[in-house]
Amino acid sequence: MAFGADADAGGDGMAEAGDASVEYATGALLLWPEQRDLPDESSRNTDSVASAMKLKELSDALSKRDLPNRIEGDSDTLIRSVNTLTDASEGEISFLSNPKYATQLERTRASAVILHPDVLLPPGLAAIRCGSPYSAMATAIILIHGYRKHPQWGLDPRSEIAHTARIGPNANIGPFVAIGQGVSIGANATIYPGCYIGDNASIGDDVIFYPNVAIYDDSLIGDRVTLHAGTVVGEDGLGYAPVDEKWLKIPQIGRVVIEDDVELGAGCTLDRATLGETRIGCGSKFSDQVVIGHGTKVGSNCMFVAQVGVAGSVTVGNRVTLGGQVGVAGHLSIGDSTVVNAKSGVWSSIDAEQTYLGIPAMDAKRFRRQAVVARRLPDMHKRLRQLEAEMAELSERLDENSGNGD
Report d(CA 35, CA 339) in Å as an integer: 50
In terms of domains, do 155 and 240 share one? no
In terms of domains, do 226 and 239 share one? no
In terms of domains, do 102 and 184 share one? no
Q: Are the beta carbons of 385 and 391 closer than 8 angstroms?
A: no
In terms of domains, do 280 and 183 share one? no
**Within a domain: 194:** yes
Strand (E) or helix (H) holding 141: helix 133-145
Whole-prediction pTM: 0.81
In terms of domains, do 245 and 338 share one? yes
Domain boundary residue among 108, 128, 145? 145
**Catalytic site includes residue 381:** no
In terms of domains, do 165 and 29 share one? yes
**Within a domain: 385:** no
Burial of 37 (0-12, 13-18, 19+ CB in 10 A): exposed
Q: Give pLDDT, residue 355.
A: 94
Q: Which domain holds residue 76?
A: 53-145
In terms of domains, do 153 and 224 share one? yes
Q: List the one residue out of 281, 282, 312 whose CA is nearest residue 298.
A: 281
Could you give the number of structural domains in the chain? 3
**Within a domain: 395:** no
Q: Are the beta carbons of 325 and 343 closer than 8 angstroms?
A: yes
Q: Give pLDDT, residue 15.
A: 45
Q: Are the beta carbons of 114 and 130 closer than 8 angstroms?
A: yes
**Within a domain: 173:** yes
In terms of domains, do 313 and 202 share one? no
In terms of domains, do 69 and 204 share one? no
Q: What is the CATH number of the domain that holds 127?
A: 3.40.1390.10
Q: What angle do CA 275, 278, 283 make, to 5 degrees?
A: 160
Q: Are the beta carbons of 286 and 265 closer than 8 angstroms?
A: yes
Q: Collapsing DSSP states into helix, strand and coil, what is residue 284?
A: coil
Q: Give pLDDT, residue 373.
A: 81
**Within a domain: 115:** yes
Q: Which of 228, 294, 331, 381 is catalytic?
A: 294
Q: What is the pLDDT along the chain (406 residues), one digit of tens a residue?
A: 667 444 443 344 444 433 433 332 223 333 333 333 333 333 333 344 568 999 999 999 999 999 999 999 999 999 999 999 999 999 999 999 988 899 999 999 999 999 999 999 999 999 999 999 999 999 999 999 999 999 999 999 999 999 999 999 999 999 999 999 999 999 999 999 999 999 999 999 999 999 999 999 999 999 999 999 999 999 999 999 999 999 999 999 999 999 999 999 999 999 999 999 999 999 999 999 999 999 999 999 999 999 999 999 999 999 999 999 999 999 999 999 999 999 999 999 999 999 999 889 888 788 788 878 888 888 888 888 999 888 988 888 887 777 665 5
